[in-house]
Structure 1
Amino acid sequence: MTEVHELAAFVDEAQFESISPEALEQLKIRVLDTIGVAIGALDAEPMTAIRGLMDDLGGTEMATLIGGGRTTPERAAFFNSALSRYLDFMDAYLAAGETGHPSDNLGAVLAAAETANASGAEFLTALAVAYQVQTRLSDVAPVRAKGFDHTTQGAFAAAASAAKAFGLSAEQTANAIAMAGTANVALRVTRTGNLSHWKGLAYPHVSKEGTFAAMLASRGITGPEEVFEGNKGFKDSVAGDFDIDWSAENLESVLRTIIKKHNAEIHSQSALDAALDIRAQDGFDAAEIESIKLTTFDVAYSIIGGGEEGDKRTVRTKEEADHSLPWMLAVTLLDGRLGPEQYAHERVVAADVQQLMTRVTIAPDDAYSARFPNEMPAELEIVLRDGTRFHAERAAYDGFHSQPLDWEGARAKFDAVTAPFASEQLRDEIADIIHRLDREPVTALTAALARVSRTRNA
């Protein structure tokens, strides 16, 4: 067997009964969280433009779009994944050399499962496969330092999970994974320098392509059987050598993922908690800040703090703001929170935020870096104009491994982001369906999602 056949055998043999009760509960929490942030993005300008394109293109009505309407599975995978990715408020997986967002695969799994008339248990099994494949490849085959994006590993996960949801054979699954993995090696420039809309659309593209590769494979189309180990294959050209014994893998990786508390890039979460700690201290006045000094781990500094992936002080758009640690610290200190409303254009470019972020300095610390990814250490010191100093340290937050989000916490976040688009009755219905999804057909969920409004307060 080639390595892609070994991976396909793991996918084919994955069973719902193998998922532990703890992992099943966390999978359902991820579904609720991911769908919630997708609904919260329905009226975002880029999403409105993409929805217009979907409407113009039409397509055979096989899979549901969140907010109503139906189209082909790969287009539904793209649109629904774009919604869940746009706010940048979803879950994450932290490996030593890679950070990804396994919930990005939900759009592909949902479209494939609905098209195949799958059960909720089959949907959850396919989603567990996506988490396992993406996290394990991130563990052993990181590509960020080599200039490639984490969506590169995601292509394997999207195809594997879509194939599982479609109910493909092991051979068809191998071909789907091979095609998607070969064709979707992505550049890290997606997330360096000044950021474009593609920052939020790179994984939806992979979600679409993984779904389409599975559809091609279902018709007998083949892919490179040595996509991993072959001449000029993934190991040779991109990742370097690595080993995974897929026969020894389980479906528990969702337990190693984390969920965002703040609507901000994942490595900022503990620093933003530290900012809120200082804001709550007696005598603090954001209008009197002279300087802000953050000491943190090297990955946070490199990606969002002005390190190797570019200066983060030119902030003009939502995409640049949610990947700028100086901006995020500034707006959190001023507003006392960082949610979707902070990314309104007028708030992004407001003078108070823009000026305050120029007073932020960020430095990596070797000792802090050694504690990552098991912790996310951040030490924040703020000095006011009169010399008063404030200090706070955080190494975790609600939603991190050590403080996992429970159903009640996930439901509170879900209600907060979806309330403008769904009535309390509809929110209750969606949440209840998700919590019993192992006993419901996927179509019960997609039918409810079709009734969500595309406009606020409708």
Structure 2
Amino acid sequence: MSAGGRSNGVSDGERRDGEEGEGEGVRRLEETLRLVRFCRGLRWDDLPEDVRKRARICVLDFAANVYGSLELAEVRAVAEYVRSLRAAPEAAALACGYRTAAPLAALVNGTLAESIEAQDGLRYGGNHPVSAVMPAALAVAEAEGRTGREFLEALVAGYEVANRIASSVHPLHTLSGFLPTGTCGAFGAAAAAARLLGLDEEGMTNALGIAGYLAPISMAEVLMGGFTAKILQGGQGALAGVVSAYLARAGVSGPPYVLEGSELKGGFTQITVRGEPNLEKITEGLGERYTITDMYLKPYSACRHTHGAIQAVLEILGDGDVQAGEVDKVEVFTYAMAVVAVGKGLGDNESFVSAQFSIPYVVAAALLDRELGPRQLTAERRADPALRELMSRVEVKLDEELQKVYPEKTASRVELVLRDGTRLVRQVDIPKGDPRDPMEEEDVKEKLLRFAGSRDRGRLEELCGTIRRMEEVADIGRLVELF
């Protein structure tokens, strides 16, 4: 038995790259094995500067989401439930005032990363890696006393795993009923955790195999129905990844062909896709092109498909002294996916999840409050009669010209029709936060300060400064203490 887990009967010296065993039992391991070898060989000093910069910014953005999510009662309820379990104090539930077992800390912190829908995302993967990978890496790094540099290395590795798997099954995975933030995120979380545990090649391979078995189903029905269990998808993926890595270290084995599958047709890409996945995307350009630089960040706490409309409204308001009371109606023109996914209004008893996925709601809230953040999602704000009345006057329409440029551009045009007949128009082709119009460190810091509300400004500044020089942090616990 190796340190990484139960032996598969073939030593590394005997195994040819991409194969296991002989004869009819030969199974291709190219994608899974190459991912493992990449993750184990990654070194911070060898990464391009834009990758290192983006990794630090993603940590800063994660912190913003942690603070913002605590505005929601449902999120606080999850944190209090985990507190009640009184598990071994291995890692912090961030900004919640207690420590718990590493897998449970990953669950709570993944919920904090996911809940306000202001998390990072990969446009061509449909996933939000921060919600699973970041909490898993942070919990294990804290529990094992790792450095900031080791944490960042694991983070970049985990993002690559989650993003590349998500890209290989997108959009068929979602169309088949799954949400990749949880499903694919579990693999990224396992890779990051295994890296921090120092598992050998066999051990990390086992961790990924176990993650495929423990990963959440992450049913799309939960999101589309507006059920608040949606906030758990990242945390459940993080928990599964952490548990998988620790079980692999303990000697539990998992299939080394977990992604590709075997003749049994039970691999991840075989059972979660109605159609043919593009397995080449898992390893295409691996080690040369880093998907973390392809991430978009969100200035607003809502589905990305709503951001063009929100930005257009706020730009119109910024151009002049327009008051919400002057608005007769609002027309939002956009592409078909946005019309279908986020084009409807918010019912009387619908949750903040439904609000995050409603252009009429977020546009009305932005018009009234001149911002769209966590406090626009609370039960009190959603129930406001003035907001709901204005929402009823927001129309979402398909624009054939904007449809033609999708998905290269996720464009929206807002036309505010005032009571005096004036029509104010603004079109946003590429919403802020896209790599083509990125949120830089100062933009993300402003987001953090805005989402953090009345929290101690000096402490927040210290947190931002520590993240800026994370690779110099001797113990990740120092970062955690600042939340």
Q: What is the TM-score with the length of structure 2 in the denominator?
A: 0.86
1:152–1:186 Cα contact (<8 Å) kept? yes
Q: Structure 1 residues 361 and 173, CA, compared in 2 at 3 Å: closer, same or farther?
A: same
Tell me the CA shift for residue 419 of structure 1.
4.4
Residue 176 of structure 2 is aligned with which of 137, 146, 149?
Answer: 146
Tell me the CA shift for residue 370 of structure 1.
4.3
SS in 2 for 1:290: strand
Partners of 1:367 and 1:140 lie apart in 2 by 29
Partner of 1:215: 246
Q: Structure 1 residues 293 and 313, CA, compared in 2 at 3 Å: closer, same or farther?
A: farther
Residue 83 of structure 1 is aligned with which of 95, 112, 125?
Answer: 112
Q: Residue type of the partner of 2:481?
A: A
Partner of 1:187: 219
SS in 2 for 1:91: coil
Partner of 1:334: 368
2:466–2:479 Cα contact (<8 Å) kept? no
Q: Structure 1 residues 32 and 269, CA, compared in 2 at 3 Å: closer, same or farther?
A: same
> How big is each residue's C-alpha offset from its partner over 1:379-435, in whole Å with a ceiling of 9 and x where there is no partner?
1122234432221101123322122122222222222222423x2221122112111
Q: Residue type of the partner of 2:450?
A: A
Residue 429 of structure 1 is aligned with which of 445, 462, 465?
Answer: 462
Tell me the CA shift for residue 106 of structure 1.
0.8
SS in 2 for 1:93: coil
The structure with the larger Rg is 2
1:270–1:394 Cα contact (<8 Å) kept? yes
Q: Residue type of the partner of 1:246?
A: T
| Seq. identity, % | 26
List aligned pairs for 1:257-272, cutoff 5 A. Answer: 257-272=295-310
Q: Residue type of the partner of 1:393?
A: Q
Partner of 1:321: 355
> How big is each residue's C-alpha offset from its partner over 1:191-238, in whole Å with a ceiling of 9 and x where there is no partner?
103x12212111111111111111111111011233222223223222
> How big is each residue's C-alpha offset from its partner over 1:113-163, in whole Å with a ceiling of 9 and x where there is no partner?
122222211111111112212222232211111211122222221211221
1:113–1:123 Cα contact (<8 Å) kept? yes
Partner of 1:109: 137
RMSD between aligned alpha carbons? 2.2
Q: Residue type of the partner of 1:395?
A: D
Partner of 1:388: 422
1:429–1:448 Cα contact (<8 Å) kept? no
Q: Residue type of the partner of 1:18?
A: D
Partners of 1:379 and 1:126 lie apart in 2 by 40
Partners of 1:247 and 1:372 lie apart in 2 by 24
Residue 99 of structure 1 is aligned with which of 121, 126, 129?
Answer: 126
1:261–1:397 Cα contact (<8 Å) kept? no
Partners of 1:357 and 1:40 lie apart in 2 by 23
Residue 102 of structure 2 is aligned with which of 63, 73, 94?
Answer: 73
> How big is each residue's C-alpha offset from its partner over 1:229-276, in whole Å with a ceiling of 9 and x where there is no partner?
222322322233322363841262111111111222222112111112
> Is there any run of 5+ residues in structure 1 with no aligned partner, and where?
453-458
Tell me the CA shift for residue 444 of structure 1.
4.2
Partner of 1:246: 283
1:313–1:327 Cα contact (<8 Å) kept? no
1:116–1:167 Cα contact (<8 Å) kept? no
Mean CA deviation greater in 256-265 or 133-142: 133-142
> How big is each residue's C-alpha offset from its partner over 1:66-101, in whole Å with a ceiling of 9 and x where there is no partner?
133221110010111111222222212111xx4221
Aligned length: 442
> How big is each residue's C-alpha offset from its partner over 1:337-385, in whole Å with a ceiling of 9 and x where there is no partner?
1122222322111111112222222233454244344422111122234
1:175–1:224 Cα contact (<8 Å) kept? yes
Partner of 2:472: 439
Residue 168 of structure 1 is aligned with which of 183, 199, 205?
Answer: 199
Partners of 1:366 and 1:145 lie apart in 2 by 23
Tell me the CA shift for residue 447 of structure 1.
4.4
Q: Residue type of the partner of 1:270?
A: G
Partners of 2:465 and 2:189 lie apart in 1 by 26
Partner of 2:186: 155
List aligned pairs for 1:280-291, cutoff 5 A. Answer: 280-282=318-320, 284-291=322-329
Q: Residue type of the partner of 1:327?
A: Y
Q: Structure 1 residues 442 and 252, CA, compared in 2 at 3 Å: closer, same or farther?
A: farther
Partner of 2:3: none
Alignment pair present for 1:414 and 2:448? yes
Tell me the CA shift for residue 281 of structure 1.
4.9
Tell me the CA shift for residue 439 of structure 1.
1.2
1:115–1:166 Cα contact (<8 Å) kept? no
Partner of 2:11: none
Residue 128 of structure 1 is aligned with which of 150, 156, 160?
Answer: 156
Q: What is the TM-score with the length of structure 1 in the denominator?
A: 0.90
